[in-house]
Amino acid sequence: MSGRRKVTVVGAGNVGATCAQELARRDYADVVLVDIKENLPQGKALDMNQAAAVLGYEPGIVGSNGYGETAGSEVVVITAGLPRSPGMSRDDLVTTNERIVRSVTEAAMAESPDAILLVVSNPLDAMCHVARSASSWPKERVFGMAGILDTARFSAFIAWQTGTSVKDVTAMVLGGHGDQMVPVVSATTVGGVPLRRLVADEAIEAMVERTRKGGGEIVNLLGTSAWYAPAAAAAQMVDAIVLDEKRLLPCTAYLEGEYGIEGLYMGVPVKLGAAGIEEIVELDLSEAEQEAMRASAEAVRDVVSVLSGS
């Protein structure tokens, strides 16, 4: 590999491989793709390296079944674990994926003790607790990708509903990454115009509901979890960290009193930069939104309580 900075993606399935390619196309870091399955990460890495000739990126992509090549990574993206299948909720995955996320966290942190851990595996909020417990790293360096994905889904529906460019939609989805997530309608605008001035309440409610069920809708269509939007969202977070962009993005962060929530990973707006989560931003939520956040927190606590280490 070259002398470039390094990002590791654990899990060479749909989300991990797509994230690795997105990062390669950014052209700022070498990428190590790790998977337990023999030949899978090596084959996907070879394919991506050959795509470089067409797409015009330089970084090396290495596929590996071990963690030696990951040493010195700035960011470790954890996508390992079983994806959802039809009829399965994110929460159904908790015990299986707890074991997987714990073992890959321990292996990755041993090689890259100064890295930032970005968790993508479901059930996301619970898996962030697992990674933090396995690593004992500060909360600023262990967090999850969910809010950007949920916000992207909400933004797509808003753009279709209003007939406007998705580039002009500014939205924010907070809370747990499940059916109790909280799209903050009060902070949602299209070209600076509040959403409520453009769209009737029942249409907004329908979009909120579709956003909450957005992952399940795709599972029902494909028979497995989404990967293009989740991978793009994870790559955006890696950009913010490696390039120290100080982006204000919704991420799954460990709360210690913010939003009235104590000792729980929840989706909130944060400032994301080279140190990881550099600030948690507290929005002025409406009464209804505060109540929805509390309900979401309870739903997350229920899943976290299933963890063996909780």
Catalytic entry in 90, 132, 141, 177: 177
Residue 129 bears catalytic tag:
no
Half-sphere exposure of 230 (CA within 13 A, CB side): 26
Region for 175 from its dihedrals, namely left if φ exceeds 0, alpha if ψ lies in -120 to 50, beta otherwise: left
Indicate which residues carry an active-site annotation: 177
